[in-house]
Amino acid sequence: MKRLAPLPLLLLVAGLLTAQPQSPHLAPTVAEAIPGRLIVKLSDPTADPVAAGERVLAPLAERFGRLAVRSWLRPELVRSGGGLRRGVVDRRGLDRILVVEFAGTGDPALVASKVMALPGVAYAEPVFRRHLHVIPNDPYVARQWYLERIRAFDAWDIGRGDSTAIVAIVDTGIDWVHPDLVDAIWRNPGESGTDAKGADRRTNGADDDGNGFVDDWVGYDFAGRDGRSADNDPSPGHWHGTHVAGIAAASTDNGVGIAGLAHGVRLMALKIADDRRESPTLVNGYDAILYAARMGATVINASWGGGGRSRAEQEVVDAVTDAGTLVVAAAGNDGRLSASYPASYHGVLSVASVMNGDRRSGFSNYSSFVGISAPGSEIYSTLPLAQSQTGYGYADGTSMASPMVAAAAALVRARYPSLDPAQVSAVLRASADNIDEQNPDFQLMLGAGRLNVLRALATGPNALLAGVESVDVIDASGDGLLEPGESFELRVTVRNYLRPASGVRLRLASAGREIEITNGEDLLGGFETGETRTSTSLRLVAPAAAGFDELIALRVGLESDAVEIGSSRVEVTVNPNFATTTNDRVTATLTGNGRIGFNDFPSNTQGAGFRFGGSDNLLAEGGLIIGTSPARLADVVRSAEPGYQSQGLQTVRAYRVAIDDVEGAEIGTAQFDDAHLHPMQRNGLSIDLTTRADRATGRDNQLLLFYRITNTSQQPLEGLHAALYLDWDIGLGGASNQTRLDPENRLGYTYNVRSAGLPYTGAMLVGEQPMNFMAADNGGDPIADGFYQEEKWQAISSGIRRDESSVGDCSTIIGAGPITLGAGEDTTIVFSLMAGDDLAALRSAATEARAVLTRLGMPFGGPLVLPTTLELYEPIPNPFAGSTRIEFSLAAEGAVTLDVFTAIGERVATLAEGTYPRGVHAIEFVPESSADEQVYFVRLVVDGEALVRKLVRLRESQ
């Protein structure tokens, strides 16, 4: 391990020559998951969480073959005591949060959703990448213009920092020997002086203060040179951390360089990046945050982040906040309405950037999560001596705004030491200068205003500030779905952060689209410091023309004796696209665009999935796939891009449920189509979905789905196929599942082969159309590397492609086709989704499903006859013009080659080559030659046995 030795001041050399460092990439706010890695928290306390995790997660090894389980946070940081209030860590169970590395190539978000089903798992989530929030720029003449803007010079007459206040810079490291920083660097008193043997504690190779870190006398490097080899030297690779540190607390009145805002405070150097000077990788940021709190940091600055909310990261923030440390973070640099983390976590003070003149910096994110703004454009600060000619330079970004606010927080804490983190944040926000006039398009999304340090120090806890803690929506119908035109009540819980407030009044107004507010005021009365109250009289009407899943923004203004003491932006979802149906035994969520189970895969928070009796959710993902070819295929299931679903079908009418007064069944309806697709991709399909959840005994373990499919185009549709994709997970994240075909009942069923007592699930094609079926291994073709359009088409159009999956995580693809629809014609395809205690219960449900169709006067299909011989069928059509369909059947799995030859024996196409499972397979043949009449021969070879068919192509009409 690299070990840092103290450097004598005589080694400091100014003016080292080097080129200006280059910019790292902008931090994305989309969730960017690290492949092959998860965060998993165990639900029960245990003496050895890693060993317990290995036992709990053992079923995953059946799919991925190798698992590595380790603590997410360093064990020495999650011991009780230290700088954290006793019991904070134990109460939150941070020691039960593990990192799981797996060998498979599965999408981490999808794997996490399956791990959630394992007993003993509190939650599972991907590990998201974090990036620096900085945009460097060319040098300008003006230097430190921002100090005057935020009233720093006047504020220093009231209070300056001192060495008892510590600002932790969790970043890329600090050039701690820089002339403008060397005197500001925090030194660990427990690793200073001499030990009992007279050795220098800084270099004696011992953990003198018992905090679990050796020789961490000037901070710590949680990443090391390569991101994996931690050491005690937080010197920088990338320049970013040094620039941030100078903004916060560069030395002042020393005749050198610049003035740090909180000069006099100590900078704790905590490096979380490898040593690369360009685009470093950030790792172990939350170890560093926890270390900072344990070692007494007053404020932690995090000028980095990224997309993807993590419950584990939120728990660390909660722990350090409870312990009395405020976390300040950059809002991000995507230049749009977006949430970046850690800035958007509860309890973190999120900082947006403004330019000189207080207009939003073009790169700065904005949202209701932002707490305050600060200058972040053209910011002059320190740079590593080894990477710049002067040791100073300009940079832009919310990375530069954040340490300004962190430094101001440290000054407030130093002047008012009794304030807790929430109150320090409140003081800064209450004293900010309003910048709404300069930013009319971003009101309530740049926080309380632009930082004013003078007012913050002068006013302190005597300011007034109240804010929204939570919002609940109570709709008139009581079904939890806020429909267009529906009346609803808004219950807003408000907290008073600072001095007692009297006569508090809440006023509600639109913050975007106009909305009818029938009663927008509530008198909440007097508040003591820290007290909360909930409104009881706010009433509104949802917009009658609201789109699906539309967010309505509202302004919650708070006044005390007619003086504004806070304002917040809240959002309400109107016209949700999904609803849940139940017959008490089976419960399922469906959407207005063809999805089944959830509206927001892979997060799977909007919906109930599919449940039977008191079971956990049994369906990870489900939805419709429909089309006539790979190029003309519309679906709403997982796509080729990990973590995303296709958007091939759009909602026309959201899914809603009503009770059939005669029979007591729940009837659900929705409508969707493919009209939004490009003309070269769409078929012209309108689909009306009707679901039936029957409460009658014998029928209450299934849900019937009727898809009425209408050809809205002016042309006939030939070769139409429609199927359901269903990723059932029966216990243990689906790790020990198997899917099989029951041909007698046209039923694909899934069960857990190793855990008796868990439900069986099934999907049945009840209608009379020809059936297609595939039992797919999620860890193999066609699912493992993404579900491509060609793979989807083959899965839904190839007959009985595979009638049994391997044991493991698996999916069912079941559907009907080919179907021909003339212009304006329609057909109805009927499925049953069912569950039961065993296969016999599913077969009984299949009988009841056929009985329902008989009562409704609809035909249903008879038993499937699986092939018992090798057969090459007559191509359809034959003769043909344009294209034809070639089908063959296999009685058992075999090595297949399907070729097309001319009459003189010249091979023109190989249509199939490889191992094919038992069943009927269909492949389209489209000749590439001219349109002249021609004779072909189709030859099928299976394990050495050959069959031949004659094929005639007609001249295409001109």
Q: Quickly count helices (H) and strands (E) in the chain.
A: 14, 50
Assess contact for 540 and 487: CB atoms under 8 A. Answer: yes
Assess contact for 252 and 260: CB atoms under 8 A. Answer: yes
Determine if the peptide bond prior to 484 is cis (ω within 30°): no
What string of DSSP letters covers 904-955? TS-EEEEEEEEEE-SEEEEEEE---S-SS-EEEEEEEEETTEEEEEEEEEPP
Residue 938 CA to residue 915 CA, distance in Å, equals 18
The verdict on whether 418 is a catalytic residue reads no
User: Which residue do the tokens 């075909």 mark?
Assistant: 741
Assess contact for 12 and 182: CB atoms under 8 A. Answer: yes
Catalytic residue among 171, 215, 274, 322: 171
- Beta-carbon count within 10 A of 140 CB: 11
In this structure, is the dihedral angle defined by the CA atoms of residues 54, 60, 62 and 66, taken in order, positive or negative? negative
Tokens read off for 554: 């509202």
Distances (CA, A) of 160 to 260, 400, 411, 430: 11, 20, 6, 20
Catalytic residue among 133, 178, 240, 721: 240
Tokens read off for 807: 């044991």
Residue 719 CA to residue 627 CA, distance in Å, equals 8
The total number of residues shown for the chain amounts to 958
The values of phi and psi at residue 29, to 5°, are -105, 0
Residue 883 CA to residue 565 CA, distance in Å, equals 73
Determine if the peptide bond prior to 461 is cis (ω within 30°): no
582 exposed, middle or buried (CB, 10 Å; 0-12, 13-18, 19+)?
middle
The verdict on whether 240 is a catalytic residue reads yes
The verdict on whether 171 is a catalytic residue reads yes
Residue 228 half-sphere exposure toward CB, CA atoms < 13 A = 1
Assess contact for 283 and 294: CB atoms under 8 A. Answer: no
Tokens read off for 846: 């299949």
Residue 194 CA to residue 200 CA, distance in Å, equals 5
Residue 768 half-sphere exposure toward CB, CA atoms < 13 A = 7
Relative to beta strand 610-612, strand 563-574 is unpaired
Tokens read off for 590: 């469906």
Residue 303 CA to residue 325 CA, distance in Å, equals 16
Residue 452 CA to residue 430 CA, distance in Å, equals 10
Residue 710 CA to residue 687 CA, distance in Å, equals 6
Phi-psi region of 113 (alpha: psi -120 to 50; beta: other; left: phi over 0): alpha
What string of DSSP letters covers 832-876? EEEEESSHHHHHHHHHHHHHHHHHTT-----------S-EEPPPB
Using alpha carbons only, what angle is made at residue 801 by residues 798 and 803, rounded to the nearest 5 degrees?
145
Tokens read off for 669: 């309806």
71-109: b (≥16 Cβ within 10 Å) or e: bbbbeebbbeebbbeeebbeebbbbbbbbbbbebebbbb
Assess contact for 876 and 884: CB atoms under 8 A. Answer: yes
The values of phi and psi at residue 31, to 5°, are -75, 120
Catalytic residue among 399, 431, 629, 736: 399
Tokens read off for 147: 């100090």
- List, by residue number, the catalytic residues: 171, 240, 399
